[in-house]
Chains A and B, each alone.
Chain A
Amino acid sequence: MKRVITTTVINQSGVLNRVTGLMMKRQFNIESISVGHTEQPGMSKMTFIVNVEDEGKLEQLLKQLQKQIDVIKVNDITDKAVVMRELALVKVVAPPAVRSEIYSIVEPFRATVVDMSKNVTTFQVTGDPEKIEAFIDLMKPYGIKELTRTGVSAFVRETQKVQAPQLNIL
Chain B
Amino acid sequence: MRLQLCSEVGWYHEAFSSLSKEQVSLFRDEKAFLFLRHTQKEADRLGVNMKVRQETDQKLKGSGADVLIRSLQEQEVEIIFGYPGGAVLPIYDALHRNPIQHVLARHEQGAIHAAEGYARVSGKPGVVIATSGPGATNLVTGIADAMLDSIPLVVFTGQVASGVIGTDAFQEADIIGITQPITKHNYQVKNAEDLPRIINEAFYIASTGRPGPVVIDVPKDISAKMFVEAEQPNEVELPGYQPTTKPNFLQIQKAIQALTASERPLILAGAGVLAARATAELQEFIERHQIPITNTLLGLGTIDGHHELFLGMAGMHGTYTANTAICECDVLLNIGARFDDRLTGNLAHFAPNAKVIHIDIDPAEIGKNVPTAIPIVADAKEALQELLNQPFESPDTAEWLQLLKTNTAAYPLQYKADKERGILPQQAIELIHKLTGGDAVVTTDVGQHQMWAAQYYKFNYPHHWVTSGGLGTMGFGFPAAIGAQLAKPHEKVVAIVGDAGFQMTLQELSLLQEMRLPVKVVILNNQCLGMVRQWQETFYEERYSQSMISVQPDFVKLAQAYDIQGYKVETMAEAEAVFAEAFASNEPVLIDCRVVQLENVYPMVAPGKGLNQMIGVKIE
Contacts and interface: CB of A to CB of B under 8 A. Distances in A.
Instruction: Indicate, yes or no, whether A interacts with B.
Output: yes
Contacts of A72: 239-240
B367 A14 contact: no
Contact of A63 (B176, B180, B185, B363): B363
Given A25-B181, A63-B363, 10 more contacts: A9-B240, A10-B239, A13-B188, A18-B180, A60-B364, A60-B368, A69-B185, A72-B239, A170-B363, A170-B377
Nearest to A72: B240
Contacts of B205: 69
Contacts of A67: 362-364
Interface in A1-42: 9-10, 13-14, 17-18, 21-22, 25
A68 interface: yes
Contacts, number: 43
B427 interface: no
A108 interface: no
Contact of A59 (B240, B241, B367): B367
A114 B39 CA distance: 67
A17 B368 contact: no
B573 interface: no
Interface of B: 176-177, 180-181, 184-185, 188, 190, 205, 238-241, 244, 362-364, 367-368, 377
| A-B complex: 7 closest residue pairs judged by Cβ atoms | A63-B364, A69-B241, A69-B185, A25-B181, A72-B240, A69-B240, A63-B363
A37 B192 CA distance: 27
B526 to A, nearest CB: 36
Nearest to A67: B364
B181 A71 contact: no
Contacts of A10: 239-240
9 contacts: A21-B180, A21-B181, A25-B181, A59-B367, A63-B364, A69-B185, A69-B240, A69-B241, A170-B377
Contact of B181 (A14, A22, A56): A22
Contacts of B176: 14
Contacts of A22: 181
A70 B240 contact: yes
A44 B398 CA distance: 58
Nearest to B241: A69
Interface string A63-93: 1101111111000000000000000000000
B180 A69 contact: no
Contact of B240 (A13, A21, A56, A68): A68
A22 B185 CA distance: 12
A169 interface: yes
A76 B58 CA distance: 52
